[in-house]
């Protein structure tokens, strides 16, 4: 009885102390006295004894700082250590075995924090775990696609794909914290990126019967619109609660400077508190930030660059449309070479059969697409004879792709009179598989003066990374050419 009453009373007293609502303590005192049972003095004494033991509150989901204390006002002027660093921990470097290799959320780009530290505390649950996460920054000027790149990382982490052709550790739950846009915009972008990756939809629960299990064990890409500045204690607590609610194993922040409104750009103490609060989440954090006119570092105080453990600098070549990602900082691993990629935004008319998609084609120094790891999708035993035949025909077309009618004309002798219907059904099945074996990459205007609905052009999965505007234009010219031997046409 005393434990059931004492724990919430302790939380109430601790909250009253932190929020300076002194009357909450008196309210709790009179409520306990009013509800005391006969001969309830031992119960009242036990209540306030437990209140003292549990005050101030020490649970991470209530205090939102991972079980670490301290006053934000004192931390800002440097009187006490920043949040999330834990107490003074000592030891011998030579003691014990060599530590295990560092874990990476993205190999050599996004590091995990140190191993959890177990410590004792004065509490009914005496053993607690202290965790610390490290921060990675993706820095660039406006218009290079930082937000799309961050969403791509979130989807790749949940599905277990590669990001910029770098392996990503698969996680169950990712939190995308947004301080700039809104949920509808990010959902639209998420669908486009998922389609560009060959997925049918973004990963996560999509039916009502999946919600109960998703509440018990959250999974997928979660979104949270930041309501308070991260420069304040309320904003950091809000982010920590959102991360704890979805049990995020990776946090993505868009973006640092805008999300920490009110913090002076040249104030190192303010940015120390903000970035230390991100470390206290206990999971890897990847944030995006903007660059000054020089474009060589993060805008504002030196403390930003000092607190992040890994940093990617993005620069856009406007003539070629290629973005170069330079590994500007790495505290725990080797510096990776430059990574070049070309953002591809394919938008179609409303009502068209092909839907918009976004992808990032990794290219080499000459701007040529780098083949994705694993190559094109290969037909497996799960495909019937008809589907394997159609998939082989699409694969033979290479990056130029084809429309179903072309494949039907090619396979007419093998499939018979129902060749066109069979090819359309097989194409639909191959494109709707998980993962898909065919990827829609554009639409082609119909031939002849009567017109008609545009046909969708498909490319075998794995070959779509090399499709660009030039290849699409060549395919369109072949379709529109009225002469059998015209530009790119096939001889009758």
Helices (H) and strands (E) in the chain, counts: 17, 17
* 205 and 146 share one domain: yes
Average of per-residue pLDDT values in the chain: 77
* 353 and 294 share one domain: yes
Distances (CA, A) of 392 to 82, 417, 433, 466: 60, 20, 16, 18
* CATH code for the domain of 409: 1.10.10
Residue bearing tokens 């017109």: 451
* 166 and 270 share one domain: yes
Q: Which residues are paired to 168 by β-bridges?
A: 106
What mean pLDDT is predicted for residues 331-352? Answer: 81
State how far the Cα of 371 lies from the Cα of 465, in Å rounded to an integer. 7
pLDDT on residue 111: 92
pLDDT on residue 18: 58
Residue 403 lies in domain: 385-480
Neighbours of 124 (CB within 10 A): 12
* 327 and 415 share one domain: no
Residue finishing a domain among 57, 88, 103: 57
The DSSP code for 251 is E
* 220 and 321 share one domain: yes
Residue 178 lies in a domain: yes
State how far the Cα of 162 lies from the Cα of 169, in Å rounded to an integer. 9
Residue 94 lies in a domain: no
* 343 and 400 share one domain: no
* CATH code for the domain of 139: 3.40.50.300
State how far the Cα of 454 lies from the Cα of 155, in Å rounded to an integer. 31
* 334 and 396 share one domain: no
CB-CB contact of 270 with 119 (8 Å): no
Distances (CA, A) of 329 to 85, 109, 150, 362: 22, 9, 18, 21
State how far the Cα of 151 lies from the Cα of 194, in Å rounded to an integer. 9
- 438 is written with which tokens? 């065919």
pLDDT in tens, 348-364: 666 666 678 888 888 88
> Please, which pLDDT band fits residue 305 given cuts at 50, 70 and 90?
confident
Number of domains comprising the chain:
3
What mean pLDDT is predicted for residues 316-322? Answer: 87
Given the DSSP bridges, would you call strands 135-139 and 310-317 parallel, antiparallel or unpaired? Answer: parallel
* 239 and 181 share one domain: yes
pLDDT in tens, 421-472: 888 888 888 887 766 778 887 776 665 555 566 778 888 876 554 444 444 4
* 162 and 47 share one domain: no
pLDDT on residue 59: 39
**Is 243 strand, coil or helix?**
helix
pLDDT on residue 467: 45
pLDDT in tens, 123-160: 677 777 778 899 999 998 888 889 999 999 999 999 98
* 322 and 437 share one domain: no
* 333 and 432 share one domain: no
Residue 79 lies in a domain: no
Residue finishing a domain among 309, 332, 363: 363
Which of 1-5, 112-116, 296-300, 365-369 is the least confident region? 1-5
**Is 438 strand, coil or helix?**
strand
Q: Which residues are paired to 137 by β-bridges?
A: 287, 311
Task: Measure CA of the first residue to CA of the last residue in the chain; give whole Å.
Answer: 90
**Is 297 strand, coil or helix?**
coil
Residue 337 lies in a domain: yes
Residue 117 lies in a domain: no
Residue 452 lies in a domain: yes
- 12 is written with which tokens? 């109430």
Residue 177 lies in a domain: yes
> Please, which pLDDT band fits residue 21 given cuts at 50, 70 and 90?
low
> Please, which pLDDT band fits residue 298 given cuts at 50, 70 and 90?
confident
* 290 and 356 share one domain: yes
pLDDT greater at residue 22 or residue 255:
255
CB-CB contact of 463 with 441 (8 Å): no
State how far the Cα of 61 lies from the Cα of 387, in Å rounded to an integer. 51
Residue finishing a domain among 20, 35, 57: 57
pLDDT in tens, 230-274: 999 999 999 999 999 999 999 999 989 999 988 888 888 999 999
Residue 267 lies in a domain: yes
């Amino acid at each position: 009885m005393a434990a059931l009453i004492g724990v919430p009373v302790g939380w109430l007293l601790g909250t009253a102390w932190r929020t300076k609502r002194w009357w909450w303590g008196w309210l709790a005192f009179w409520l306990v006295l009013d509800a005391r049972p006969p001969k309830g003095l031992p119960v009242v004494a036990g209540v306030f004894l437990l209140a003292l033991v549990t005050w101030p509150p020490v649970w991470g989901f209530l205090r939102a700082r991972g079980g670490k204390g301290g006053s934000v006002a004192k931390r800002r002027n440097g009187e006490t250590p920043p949040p999330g660093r834990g107490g003074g921990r000592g030891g011998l470097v030579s003691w014990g075995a060599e530590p295990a290799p560092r874990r990476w959320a993205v190999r050599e780009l996004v590091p995990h924090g140190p191993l959890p530290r177990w410590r004792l505390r004065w509490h009914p649950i005496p053993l607690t775990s202290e965790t610390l996460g490290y921060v990675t920054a993706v820095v660039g000027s406006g218009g290079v696609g930082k937000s799309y790149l961050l969403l791509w990382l979130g989807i790749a982490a949940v599905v277990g794909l590669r990001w910029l052709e770098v392996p990503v550790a698969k996680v169950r739950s990712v939190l995308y914290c947004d301080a700039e846009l809104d949920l509808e915009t990010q959902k639209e972008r998420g669908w486009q990126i998922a389609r560009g990756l060959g997925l049918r939809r973004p990963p996560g629960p999509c039916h009502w019967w999946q919600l109960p299990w998703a509440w018990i064990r959250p999974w997928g890409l979660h979104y949270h619109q930041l309501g308070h500045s991260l420069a304040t204690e309320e904003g950091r607590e809000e982010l920590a609660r959102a991360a704890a609610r979805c049990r995020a194993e990776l946090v993505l922040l868009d973006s640092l400077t805008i999300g920490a409104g009110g913090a002076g750009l040249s104030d190192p103490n303010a940015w120390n508190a903000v970035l230390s609060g991100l470390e206290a989440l206990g999971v890897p954090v990847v944030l995006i930030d903007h660059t000054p006119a020089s474009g060589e570092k993060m805008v504002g105080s030196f403390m930003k660059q000092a607190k992040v453990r890994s940093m990617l600098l993005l620069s856009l070549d406007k003539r070629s449309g290629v973005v170069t990602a330079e590994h500007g900082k790495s505290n725990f691993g080797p510096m990776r070479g430059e990574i070049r990629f070309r953002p591809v935004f394919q938008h179609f008319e409303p009502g068209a059969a092909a839907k918009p998609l976004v992808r990032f084609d990794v290219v080499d120094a000459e701007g040529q697409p780098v083949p994705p790891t694993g190559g094109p999708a290969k037909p497996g035993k799960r495909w019937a004879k008809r589907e394997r035949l159609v998939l082989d025909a699409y694969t033979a077309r290479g990056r130029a792709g084809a429309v179903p009618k072309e494949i039907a004309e090619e396979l007419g002798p093998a499939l018979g009179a129902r060749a066109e219907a069979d090819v359309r059904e097989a194409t639909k099945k191959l494109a709707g598989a998980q993962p898909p074996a065919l990827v829609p990459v554009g639409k082609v205007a119909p031939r002849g003066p009567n017109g008609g609905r545009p046909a969708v052009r498909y490319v075998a999965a794995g070959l779509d990374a090399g499709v660009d505007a030039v290849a699409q234009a060549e395919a369109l010219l072949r379709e529109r050419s009225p002469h059998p031997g015209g530009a790119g046409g096939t001889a009758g």
